[in-house]
Every structure is written in C-alpha cells, then in structure tokens.
C-alpha cells in the first residue's frame, strides 16, 4: 500500500490528548543519515569498502534521510522492527552517535558541536541499563543523585516516591538488584531517569520484557508525567497499544526511512476504513504484519 508521507503538523487537532505545539522545537532533525558497515562473506552482496585487515564490508543505512521536529511537552512515539533504525535515531539525539550527514539539534544546539550542553538536560532509558548489582535500588539511585549534584535528602525523597509509584514496597527498595527480576531492574532504570527531572527523556523500549502488571505500572507513571506537560519524551516501543495510549504523534520507520508521522487517530484514518487496531496501521504503511516483524529472525 503506497501511502504518502504526511506533514508532521497535519491533523494535529484530531489528537484526543489536546496537545498543541508551543514554541520552537525541542528536537530538530533534518535529512539525517547514519550508516554502518557489516562484514560480508565472499559472493554475498556488493562490497563497498574493506576494513584495515582487508575484511569485506557492506554499507547499511541505519537512518536514511530522516526529517522531523518534536516539541516541548510532546510524547513522540517511534515504531519499527528491530533493525529499522529506532535505537540508532535515539543515540543520535542523545549525542552517543553523530550523524554522517544532516542536522540534529536539541534545544536549539547542534548535537555534534555542543554534546555536553545537551547531555546535561536529557536522560535516557534503554533495555541495556547498567547498575551496581550488589547494591539496592535505593543505593543505586542515591549514587545517581550524587552524580547529578542532587542533595542527599532530596534524592532520597524523590527516589522513594518514584519507586513507590512504580510498585516497590519499602522493603523491596532496599533489596539487592542482583536478586530482582529483569522487569524490576528496568523499573529502577526508569526511576533513575525520571528522578533527575530531565527536560527531554528518551525512552528506548522501556517496557520490553516486563510482565503485564509492571508494564501497566510504568505506563501509568508515564501518563502522570505526561499530564504535567513539562518533559518532552521520545518513546520507541514494540507495544502498539502502548504507542496509541501514550503518544501525541507516532512515527513509523522502515529500514531506516521515515514512512509516516502523525497523530494515532490521523494514522488510523489514513490507513483506510478496514483498520481495527494499531497493528493494522503498521501493516498498512510497511506492508508487513507486526507479529511477523517481531518474530522474523532477520530482525532478532
């Protein structure tokens, strides 16, 4: 199905959240490209370069000519299969990677020229969160608070309130992380990110691997933050219902290219009259069933 890429501002009034862009964009990406090179076996595809050991390599466009803006207080969702460029785009915005071409600006600052200034105003949650596993959740958050220059009393108060909101009992807050499930550890990662009250929060598949109750706890907590409209969020997710529930607008990436970007309601309207779920929306724009994408070994 060939559907034209819509303007990032189209059908804005159809958004049931009532979100309206205010002021200059927090994130401005313009014609952003990022490529990597993967090893190839003899006879396997075109070789574009050889490594320093003479290994044959092929170019892979992880992010391919992507342009969009995200505004203050907005929750922008990014959907796509593993390998579609979601996490690479997050790393570009967070200044962990630099684009090969194009412009990435955050708070009006160039991500290549002013990365340190940007990093002081953002935080990121990913599925590869790192902790001191021998320490408790509270001890990990107290350490993070010191790194960010927060007073100990304020850190303890913030950390306790967020952990409690995420379903931690007082006793669990002081249990060693190595004795916690992966889902509980991910909640600590989310608490650590929100504790610093960043102006921009990059949530890279924050609920992946969580049990249904933990996923609901996290989504409810994020909704509370959204209601304040003080933090801009970029959310990548494999959970279609989560994207529809939390996001003001949703972008769909396919093999590094931005296929479409608009409000969830507008995307449903654009996808056609037979759309019954947000999974159907994804299929309409990329021509592949969402469950098939998630289970495809090529994207594992």
* 184 and 228 part of one domain: no
Chain position carrying tokens 């396997």: 44
Q: Please report which helix (H) or strand (E) contains residue 69, including its range.
A: strand 56-70
- Percent pLDDT > 90 in the chain is 37
Where is the domain boundary, 197, 215, 241?
197
For the chain, give the mean pLDDT: 82
Do residues 94 and 126 lie in contact, with contact meaning Cβ atoms separated by under 8 Å?
no
Chain position carrying tokens 């296929």: 259
* 46 and 179 part of one domain: no
Model confidence at 220: pLDDT above 70: yes
Model confidence at 247: pLDDT above 70: yes
* 183 and 208 part of one domain: no
Q: 152 is in which domain, residue-wise? A: 130-197
Mean pLDDT of 211-220: 84
Chain position carrying tokens 């159907």: 280
Report pLDDT for 180.
85
**Cα gap 242→236, rounded to integer Å:** 10
Among 10-24, 104-118, 173-187, 224-238, which is the least confidently predicted range? 10-24
Q: How confident is the model at residue 211 (pLDDT cuts 50, 70, 90)?
A: confident
Task: Give me the helices (H) in the chain, please.
Answer: 86-93, 115-119, 137-147, 152-165, 170-173, 182-195, 212-228, 240-246, 264-271, 278-286, 290-295
**Cα gap 87→202, rounded to integer Å:** 10
Query: For 118, what's the count of Cα atoms within 13 Å in the CB-facing half-sphere?
Result: 23
Query: For 30, what's the count of Cα atoms within 13 Å in the CB-facing half-sphere?
Result: 8
Burial category of 34 from C-beta neighbours within 10 Å (exposed 0-12, middle 13-18, buried 19 and up): buried
Report pLDDT for 241.
87
Structural domain tally of the chain?
2
* 208 and 72 part of one domain: yes
**Cα gap 181→202, rounded to integer Å:** 23
Report pLDDT for 63.
95
**Cα gap 245→13, rounded to integer Å:** 17
* 46 and 173 part of one domain: no
> What's the CATH code of the domain at 90?
3.40.50.300
**Cα gap 159→167, rounded to integer Å:** 12
What is the separation, in whole angstroms, between the first and last Cα of the chain?
A: 25
Q: How many CB atoms lie within 10 A of CB 136?
A: 18
Report pLDDT for 213.
83
Instruction: Please tell me which residue, 134 or 70, carries the higher pLDDT value.
Output: 70
7 in a structural domain: no
Instruction: Dump pLDDT digits (tens) for 2-31.
Output: 444 444 444 333 444 455 667 789 999 999
* 177 and 32 part of one domain: no
Report pLDDT for 46.
61
Q: Please report which helix (H) or strand (E) contains residue 219, including its range.
A: helix 212-228
For residue 254, give both structure tokens: 């396919």
DSSP string, 30-53: EEEEEEEEEE--TTSS---EE-TT
Mean pLDDT of 228-255: 88
Mean pLDDT of 35-51: 67
- Percent pLDDT > 70 in the chain is 83
Cα 214 to the center of its chain, rounded Å:
18
Mean pLDDT of 140-155: 89
* 114 and 236 part of one domain: yes
Model confidence at 286: pLDDT above 50: yes
**Cα gap 182→187, rounded to integer Å:** 9
Do residues 44 and 299 lie in contact, with contact meaning Cβ atoms separated by under 8 Å?
no
Cα–Cα distances (Å) from 194 to 75, 157, 226, in that order, read 15, 13, 12
- Give the pTM: 0.81
Q: If you count them, how many residues does the chain have?
A: 300
Where is the domain boundary, 197, 214, 235?
197
Chain position carrying tokens 């990059």: 202
Instruction: Please tell me which residue, 86 or 39, carries the higher pLDDT value.
Output: 86
For residue 203, give both structure tokens: 């949530």
């Amino acid at each position: 199905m060939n559907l034209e890429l819509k303007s990032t501002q189209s059908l804005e009034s159809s958004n049931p959240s009532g979100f309206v862009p205010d002021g200059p964009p927090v994130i401005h990406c313009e014609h952003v490209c990022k490529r990597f090179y993967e090893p190839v076996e003899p006879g396997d595809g075109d070789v574009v370069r050889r490594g320093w050991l003479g290994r044959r390599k092929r170019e892979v466009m992880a992010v391919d000519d992507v342009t969009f803006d995200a505004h203050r207080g907005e929750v922008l969702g990014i959907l796509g299969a593993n390998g579609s460029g979601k996490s690479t785009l997050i790393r570009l915005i967070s200044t962990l990677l630099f684009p090969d071409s194009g412009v990435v600006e955050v708070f009006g600052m160039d991500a290549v020229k002013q990365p340190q200034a940007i990093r002081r105003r953002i935080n990121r949650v990913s599925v590869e969160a790192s902790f001191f596993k021998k320490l408790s959740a509270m001890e990990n958050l107290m350490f993070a608070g010191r790194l960010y220059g927060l007073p100990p009393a304020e850190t303890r108060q913030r950390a306790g309130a967020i952990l409690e909101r995420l379903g931690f009992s007082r006793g669990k807050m002081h249990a060693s992380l190595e004795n916690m499930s992966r889902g509980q550890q991910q909640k600590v990662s989310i608490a650590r990110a929100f504790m610093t009250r960043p102006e921009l929060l990059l949530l890279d598949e924050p609920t992946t691997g969580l049990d249904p109750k933990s996923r609901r706890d996290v989504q409810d907590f994020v909704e509370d933050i959204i209601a304040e409209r003080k933090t801009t969020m970029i959310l990548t997710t494999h959970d279609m219902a989560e994207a529809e529930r939390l996001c003001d607008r949703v972008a769909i990436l396919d093999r590094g290219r931005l296929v479409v970007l608009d409000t969830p309601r507008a995307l449903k309207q654009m996808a056609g009259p037979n759309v019954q779920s947000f999974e159907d929306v994804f299929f309409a724009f990329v021509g592949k069933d969402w469950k098939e994408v998630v289970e495809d070994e090529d994207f594992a």
